[in-house]
Amino acid sequence: MKYLKRTLVLCLAAVMMTALAACSSNTTSTTSTPAQTASTQESTNEGADSQSGEAAEGTAIQITDNFSITDPEGLDYDTRYVYQGTTGSTLINNMQMSGYNAEAMYEILYAKDGQPVGEYQVFVGADEAAASSLLDFYQSQGQTLTQEGNVIYTYSDTDMIQAMVATYSGMGMFSGTSAQDYVEWMSSYNGLVEYQP
């Protein structure tokens, strides 16, 4: 059992290495008040076909009653993908089996011309103490996240997310380096589904 728990923690750390970048307060935008939610079926291009997991540009992603994610200030993108994992998803189950009381994870990926240009990863703990415990785990892995109440999150800018996607592709996790390649792998590997406001 001890070996299984350590293996799960190590797998969790390896998968979440996409959250390596330090949060930058001048490029990210969060809000602590409820805001308009996004639909995953809307395309940001007029007349374009909607694609799985896309969410309308400019709308906030409601994470909890008191916390939402808004688009990074000044980010130029044409597609926003939003996926979530809750209790029952592979990622959340693995976290819980490893002793972390997580309730949800959100993957928000921004793309321009098919290439990733920004990414939020957001985790919701059962309470503030659970979020702090998860934050301590990620900090012990050398990652930097921000905590607000029972939510922790990180933002990866264009250089960081493109380097991360290229690294994962080079390791054979998926073929190609497009935003679609990455988000399909992330959602499949972690058991994430399209965001439902």
Q: Are 41 and 196 in contact (CB under 8 A)?
A: no
Residue 173 has a CB neighbour count (10 Å cut-off) of 15
Per-residue model confidence as pLDDT tens digits over 10-19: 344 444 443 3
pLDDT at 81 over 80: yes
Q: What is the mean pLDDT of residues 158-185?
A: 96
pLDDT recorded at residue 19: 35
Say how far apart CA 14 and CA 172 lie, in whole Å.
14
DSSP calls for 111-168: EETTEEEEEEEEEEESSHHHHHHHHHHHHHTT---EEETTEEEEEE-HHHHHHHHHHH
Tokens of 31: 């809000």
Say how far apart CA 37 and CA 79 lie, in whole Å.
16
Confidence band (pLDDT; 50, 70, 90) for 44?
very low
Tell which phi-psi region holds residue 58, choosing left (phi > 0), alpha (psi between -120 and 50) or beta.
left
Half-sphere exposure of residue 166: CA atoms within 13 angstroms, side-chain side: 8
Q: What is the mean pLDDT of residues 159-171?
A: 96
pLDDT recorded at residue 159: 97
Say how far apart CA 146 and CA 52 lie, in whole Å.
29
Please report where in the chains the tokens 């130029």 appear, as a residue. 76
Least confident span in 25-39, 79-93, 124-138 = 25-39
**Closest of 81, 39, 38 to residue 60, by C-alpha:** 38
Q: Domain limits of the chain?
A: 2-194
